[in-house]
Structure 1
Amino acid sequence: MAGGNDKIEQQMTTLLRRVQRIHISTSSGEMELDRSAYGIMCRVADEGPQRLGSFASAFGLDPSTITRQVQALERAGLAERHTDSADRRASILDLTDEGRVVLERTREFRRHRLDEILADWSDDDRAELGRLLEKFNTSMDALLERSS
C-alpha cells in the first residue's frame, strides 16, 4: 500500500501546483478572485448565508483571517454582512447581486477550462474522478474532525 501512497502523494503535489496555475488563469476577467475569496463565495452560494465562524471552522483558519478576507469581499462589493436574527451579536455573510454575478462568471470560465482539460476523457472517467475526489475529501474531513 505504501507504494500506492507514494504515487498518490506525488500526484497530489503535482495537482496542487497545477491548481494554482489554473486558479490564476481562470480569474473572471474584470474582477480577479483570490483563492480565499473564491472559496468563501462558493460556500455561501452553495450552502447559503452563514456566520463568519463557520468559515473559520470549514477552512481551518483563525477567525481574524476570515474577518480580513470577508472585509476584502465587502470592500469589493461582492458580499455583505447582516445581523443574525437568532443572535444579534453575530453577523451573517451573504453575497451581493454583483458577487453572485462575478462568482457565476468565474465558475463558468473554470468549468470551461475543465471541459478543455478533460476533452478526451469519457463521461465514465469524469464521473469516476468526481466520485473518487468526493470520497477523498470525505475521508480527509473525517480525519481532520478526529484530529481537532
Structure 2
Amino acid sequence: MPTREATLATIQRELTAFARRARSKAARVHPKLSLVTYSMLDHMVETGGCRATDLACHFMLDKSTVSRQTATLERLGLMVRETDPDDHRGQILRPSEEGLRLLRDAHEQRRATYEARLADWADDDLERLAGYLQRYNSEG
C-alpha cells in the first residue's frame, strides 16, 4: 500500500499533467488565447457578465493582469464592455457573439474529449470522480 506522501506525489503529478493538457487545448481553441483569458471569458458567461474587479477577485489576479487579459479579449473581438446599469462609472464585461461561439465550440470539443477518454469507465466510477473533483474544488 502506498504511503500518503507517495499518493500525494501521484495526485500532484496527475493534476499537473491535467493542467498542461488544458493549457494545450486552450491554445488549440484560439492560438492567441491563454488558459487564463479563456477561463475569464468562460467566467463571464457563468456570471452573466461581470466587472474586471470581479475577475481579479475570482482568479486571484492583480488588476493590471486582468486589464491586459481583457484588452486581449476585446482586441480579438471576443468580449464587449457595457455600462453598468447600477453604476454608470463602471463597466460590465461580456463575451461577444464571436466569444460565445468560440466557447460553445470549445465546450463541444472538451465534452467529446472527456467522452472518449472516459468511454470505458463504469457509471459509478464517473460519479465518484465527479464527486471527488467537486469536493476538491469546493475546499478552496
| TM tier relative to shorter chain | 0.7 to 0.9
Kindly report structure 1 stretches of 4+ aligned residues shifted beyond 6 Å.
Answer: none
Q: CA deviation at 1:25?
A: 3.8
Q: What letter corresponds to residue 105 of structure 2 in structure 1?
A: R
TM-score when scaled to structure 1? 0.83
Q: 1:23 to 1:114 in 2, by over 3 A?
A: farther
Q: Distance in 2 between matches of 1:50 and 1:25?
A: 25
Aligned counterparts of 2:80 and 2:50: Cα–Cα separation in 1: 11
CA deviation map 1:31-79 (0-9, x unaligned): 3332012111111112210111111111110011011100000000000
In the alignment, the residues of structure 1 paired with residue 86 and residue 6 of structure 2 have an alpha-carbon distance, to the nearest angstrom, of: 48
Aligned residue for 1:119?
Answer: 119
Letter of the aligned partner of 2:57 in structure 1? S
Question: Do residues 43 (structure 1) and 30 (structure 2) align?
Answer: no
Q: Is the 2:22–2:35 Cα contact (8 Å) retained in structure 1?
A: no
Partner of residue 21, structure 1:
21
Q: Distance in 1 between matches of 2:64 and 2:120?
A: 44
Q: Distance in 1 between matches of 2:77 and 2:106?
A: 16
Q: Give the Å deviation of 1:6.
A: 4.4
In 2, Cα distance between the equivalents of 1:139 and 1:61? 19
- How do 1:65-104 residues align onto structure 2 when only pairs under 5 Å count? 65-104=65-104
**Structure 1 SS opposite 2:61:** coil
Give the RMSD, CA atoms, in angstroms: 1.7
Percent identical among aligned pairs is: 31
Worse-superposed segment, 67-76 or 79-88:
79-88
What amino acid is aligned across from residue 139 of structure 2 in structure 1? Answer: S
1:135 paired residue number: 135
For residue 60 of structure 2, what is the aligned residue in structure 1?
A: 60
Unaligned runs of 5+ in 1: 141-148
Aligned length: 136
SS in 2 for 1:89: strand
